[in-house]
């Protein structure tokens, strides 16, 4: 069954190369391949499955909606499904002291929320330049790509990617001087934890400095919360613990629909909402099935017990990974990330890759990021601490094995 992919799908495919099986069933934190083998999924759609696969309540509501004949595609017409989602989202924003944001539904992808944010910041300020940060990933369409630093991705552009100044992430010394010596920017765009860039977590003083610099220049702060948002860091928004950041624009996608249906949103501080009607459009601006499932996800957050369990799980993940680092001294491991957006940095990409492959043999799917040297461990936020601890034990054993094998071959090659 594999052959069709190699024969007929573009060479651009990527994740599937690390996990060359064919999946056909999914539930919670499990995936099954066509031979019936079960895997624990810690890739979680790179953060698009924060509630696990096929959350029963989300599936039930989507199926009911279809059975009742609800409209699926409706451009940006008013629908009951959209009204319900917006009402629940407004309640979440109110509860977080964020009542002064309006919601734009761009097309259904993270990169489209970023495109809308960059476009609006440029339009509102009349400036073309944007400041982005090394290691940042904002999407693969040209505007977002210009703010993305991966050489592999940029190399695919085939055209210059202008009007973006890229500065070191979470590094304070040259921030002001570098920005002040360049063109005045329309915006700063950043992730509070860099998902694809290797789970680098920004520190409070740096975030505060970015905000103050933006204020001084009349520029806007865009937080790309596509991966870090929707609970991944332990709270709904990744910037909740940094009130000093006060983003002007917030990009959301990945887990916004709750069950992996394509959806994106841009939160816009109300006074920046200077779009003319129809000035930015798209066919799939808010998909009703995604609204229905997304409403079920927001219902979860309305329950303080759920938010508490997510925060607890995030704490347990940090603790177990800290223990793994301590239990495997001499392996050069570093704990990276924040909350349930954590992972382990290895001394090199080869070892991280060997651990990923070893995990896959052991029935666990987890990918690397940050030039391949960081193992990303993204369990669904619905996992219990006990379930996570069992998985963490397995991860520790696989790392110990892979490191021993790597050492063994180093010894052999030194001898040979």
Ligand X SMILES: *Cc1c(COP(=O)(O)O)cnc(C)c1O
**Cα separation, 99 vs 94, whole angstroms:** 5
Applying CB under 6 A, does 50 fall inside the site for ligand X? no
Which residue's Cβ lies closest to ligand X? 110
The string of DSSP codes covering 246-260 is: --SEEEE-GGGGSSS
Residues 247-286 that bind ligand X (CB under 6 A): 253-254
Applying CB under 6 A, does 138 fall inside the site for ligand X? yes
- Pick from 111, 192, 342, 373 the residue near ligand X by CB under 6 A: 111
Which residues, other chains included, contact 374 with Cβ-Cβ below 8 Å and sequence gap of 6+? Answer: 198, 199, 336, 343, 344, 345, 346, 352, 368
Binding piece for ligand X, criterion CB under 6 A, among 107-115, 286-294, 354-362, 383-391:
107-115
Number of neighbours of residue 159 by Cβ within 10 angstroms: 8
Structure tokens at 233: 């860091």
Place of tokens 């099986």: 21
Per the DSSP assignment, residues forming a β-bridge with 250 are: 223, 267
The nearer residue to ligand X, 288 or 369, going by C-beta atoms, is 369
Contact between 221 and 210 (Cβ < 8 Å)? yes
- Pick from 106, 139, 294, 358 the residue near ligand X by CB under 6 A: 139
Alpha helices in 106-203 (DSSP H): 110-125, 142-146, 151-155, 175-180
- Pick from 170, 224, 248, 367 the residue near ligand X by CB under 6 A: 224
**Count of residues of this chain found to bind ligand X when the rule CB under 6 A is applied:** 16
- Pick from 104, 125, 192, 227 the residue near ligand X by CB under 6 A: 227
- Pick from 137, 169, 242, 301 the residue near ligand X by CB under 6 A: 137
Applying CB under 6 A, does 341 fall inside the site for ligand X? no
Residues 185-214 that bind ligand X (CB under 6 A): 191, 195-196
The nearer residue to ligand X, 106 or 358, going by C-beta atoms, is 106
The nearer residue to ligand X, 170 or 191, going by C-beta atoms, is 191
For 215-340, list the strands marked E by DSSP: 220-224, 249-252, 265-269, 334-338
Contact between 29 and 387 (Cβ < 8 Å)? yes
Bridging pattern class, strands 200-201 and 220-224: unpaired
- Pick from 226, 290, 324, 325 the residue near ligand X by CB under 6 A: 226
Binding piece for ligand X, criterion CB under 6 A, among 14-22, 109-117, 241-249, 316-324:
109-117
The string of DSSP codes covering 206-234 is: HHHHHHHHHHHHT-EEEEE-TTTTTTTTS
Q: What's the closest the beta carbon of residue 229 comes to ligand X, in angstroms?
A: 9
The nearer residue to ligand X, 194 or 320, going by C-beta atoms, is 194
State the distance between the two ends of the chain, measured CA to CA, in whole angstroms.
41
Applying CB under 6 A, does 287 fall inside the site for ligand X? no
Applying CB under 6 A, does 114 fall inside the site for ligand X? yes
Closest among 266, 281, 272 to 114, alpha carbons compared: 266
Closest among 256, 192, 232 to 382, alpha carbons compared: 232
**Cα separation, 311 vs 235, whole angstroms:** 7
Q: What's the closest the beta carbon of residue 156 comes to ligand X, in angstroms?
A: 14
Binding piece for ligand X, criterion CB under 6 A, among 15-23, 106-114, 239-247, 356-364:
106-114
Q: What's the closest the beta carbon of residue 235 comes to ligand X, in angstroms?
A: 17
The nearer residue to ligand X, 254 or 338, going by C-beta atoms, is 254
Residues 342-381 that bind ligand X (CB under 6 A): none
Per the DSSP assignment, residues forming a β-bridge with 167 are: 133
Positions in the binding site for ligand X (CB under 6 A): 46, 109-111, 114, 137-139, 191, 195-196, 224, 226-227, 253-254
């Amino acid at each position: 069954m594999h052959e069709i992919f190699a024969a007929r799908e573009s060479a651009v495919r990527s994740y599937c190369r690390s996990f060359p099986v064919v999946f056909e069933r999914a539930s919670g934190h499990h995936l099954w391949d066509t031979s019936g083998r079960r895997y624990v999924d810690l890739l979680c759609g790179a953060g698009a499955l924060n509630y696990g696969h096929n959350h029963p309540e989300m599936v039930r509501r989507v199926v009911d909606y279809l059975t009742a004949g609800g409209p699926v595609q409706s451009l940006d017409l008013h629908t009951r499904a959209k009204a319900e989602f917006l009402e629940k989202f407004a309640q979440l924003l109110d509860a977080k002291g964020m009542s002064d944001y309006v919601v734009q539904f761009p097309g259904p992808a993270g990169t489209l929320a970023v495109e809308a944010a960059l476009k609006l910041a440029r339009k509102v300020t009349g400036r073309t330049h944007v400041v982005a940060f090394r290691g940042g990933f904002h999407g693969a369409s040209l505007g977002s790509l210009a703010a993305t630093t991966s050489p592999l991705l940029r190399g695919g552009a085939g055209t210059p990617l202008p009007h973006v100044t890229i500065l070191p992430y979470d590094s304070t010394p040259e921030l002001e001087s570098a920005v002040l010596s360049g063109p005045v920017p329309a915006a700063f765009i950043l992730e509070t934890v860099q998902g694809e860039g290797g789970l680098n977590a920004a520190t409070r003083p740096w975030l505060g400095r970015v905000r103050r610099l933006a204020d001084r220049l009349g520029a806007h702060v865009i937080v790309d919360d596509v991966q870090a948002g929707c609970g991944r860091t332990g709270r709904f928004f990744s910037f909740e613990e940094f009130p000093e950041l006060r983003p002007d624009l917030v990009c959301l996608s990945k887990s916004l629909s709750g069950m992996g249906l394509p959806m994106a949103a841009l939160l816009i501080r109300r006074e920046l909402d200077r779009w003319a009607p129809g000035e930015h459009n798209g066919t799939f601006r808010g998909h009703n099935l995604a609204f229905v499932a997304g409403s079920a996800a927001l219902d979860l957050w309305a329950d303080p017990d759920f938010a508490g369990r997510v925060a607890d799980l995030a704490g347990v993940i940090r603790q177990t990974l800290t223990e793994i680092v301590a239990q495997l001294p001499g392996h050069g491991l570093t704990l990276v990330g924040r909350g349930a957006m954590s992972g382990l940095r290895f001394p090199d990409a080869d070892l991280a890759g060997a651990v990923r492959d070893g995990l896959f043999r052991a029935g666990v799917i987890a990918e690397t990021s940050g030039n391949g040297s960081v193992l990303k461990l993204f369990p669904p936020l619905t996992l219990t601490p006990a379930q996570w601890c069992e998985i963490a034990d397995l991860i520790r054993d696989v790392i110990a094995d892979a490191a021993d094998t790597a050492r063994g071959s180093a010894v052999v090659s030194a001898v040979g």
